[in-house]
Copies of this chain bind each other. A is one copy, B any other.
Amino acid sequence: MNFCSNCGARVSLRVPAGDTLPRHVCDACNTIHYQNPKMVVGGIAEWEDRILLCRRAIEPRHGLWTVPAGFMENGETTAQGAERETLEEANARVEIGPLFALYNIPHINQVYLLFRARLLDTNFSPGAETLEVRLVGEADVPWSEIAFATVRNTLTHYFNDQKRGEFRFHFGTIERPSRAPAAEPRP
């Protein structure tokens, strides 16, 4: 951030009076520009004992598999966002169920919120950012080609819970990879 989005003057990075962290502050109009983490919302769309996976048509992780998920938008709830993303990425209609997993990814300022969802029909198809959509059971999951750690962990918990016959809420944190250079990217 270089310029004030309100008045167009240059901003400086400093700790405002009464605050504890450096912020981008406009010395012309006094606006403080806060930056906060974003939510990524998505769905684990279930059809009998299988779930919907999407193969990514966009970078990062082009060609790898994920569940439908994306940045939550203003004006919607977390569940509405998960429903919208499932429609956009897989042209799939779902009824959103309980929250299944929350993952903090502090090094990229994201929080993932993934819901269980009931797929309403099997007329799904790839959206603009998707190469391929598939219903998979545990034996068919392409584990070595999953796009993100959040999704890998979520699917592991999901199929464990499915075997146990009881789904519970999972909460965790994805740490920065210690050797890989690339951070968890835009979903």
Contact = CB atoms under 8 A, between A and B. Distances in A.
Contacts of A107: 75
Which of A37, A76, A78, A128 has most chain B Cβ within 10 Å?
A37
Instruction: Report how many copies the assembly holds.
Output: 2
A11 B2 CA distance: 14
Given A4-B3, A18-B128, A36-B39, A75 B171 contact: no
Contacts of A173: 77
Contacts of A1: 5-6
A18 B32 CA distance: 31
A161 to B, nearest CB: 15
Given A5-B33, A99-B169, A109 B79 contact: no
Nearest to A6: B2
Interface in A33-75: 33-39, 71-75
5 contacts: A8-B10, A20-B88, A77-B104, A77-B106, A99-B171
Interface of A: 1-8, 10-11, 18, 20-21, 24, 33-39, 71-80, 88, 98-99, 102, 104, 106-107, 109, 111, 128, 169, 171, 173
